[in-house]
Amino acid sequence: MKTNKWISHDILIKEQTKLWPIPDGNLNDVNYVTIKTPEDIKKIPKEGGTYWLWSNEKVILSFHPSSQPQNDNIIYNGVAQDLQKRSEQHLHRRGDARQSAISLDIRTEEVHPKSHRKAAYSIKKAEQSKKDKKKTPYLNGKQIKTKQELKSLYAYLSEKECTFIKTHNEDIFFYNGINVSDLKHSEHIWRIYYISGISDIYASFIEKEWRNRYGRPKLCSYERGR
């Protein structure tokens, strides 16, 4: 009986990665940059790698119902081909950003991008197909399905956002990314932890394995990637 002498790609990677180090749950020994102004983002390398978004701003909503990191200040992690550009998309939103990023600010404009948008609250009609129904965030492990439940965020929103929610009777969405210079966020500390100059395979492995060990950050809507 012949045996298969060829090792599958997945098995090979699994064996190799047993030796690859993974940061601990508090990201000790991982480089970081504190972001106070757009200029600070330029300190992050323009190269590929994996990263984490840390903040002491209170984030009570989540984009998944599963367990969250042991370190509650880590609100997002991912991989990027250009860490500086991705950090800018997260923390220095420019105009009508279409690239998906963290979702914390309620969109207070009537016109929305046609792609890469997350709903904060959606009017679900009976005739909607399952595909058309929008995924909304979770609050205390329960998905937000009514406008009244969305109002639980008022203490963490600006006056403009609260007024928009009160007066708007259609679907409500988040902006893609935030601007750390805004009054709402500027009083808090924002950091980008990163590991750069590594292969795409290693970066993806770190992202996935770190979540397996320490929990998926609140604002990550997918199990891995994005």
Question: pTM for the complete prediction?
Answer: 0.86
Q: What does pLDDT average to over the chain? A: 85
> What residue segments make up the domains of the chain, in order of their start?
27-93+181-214, 119-173
> 25-34 pLDDT, tens per residue?
999 999 999 9
Closest CA to 93 of 175, 184, 172: 175
The residues near 220 (Cβ < 8 Å, ≥ 6 apart) are 63, 64, 76, 77, 78, 211, 226
Domain 27-93+181-214 has what CATH class?
Answer: alpha beta
Rounded to an integer, the average pLDDT of 107-117 is 73
How much is the average pLDDT of 116-135? 63
End-to-end CA distance of the chain: 45
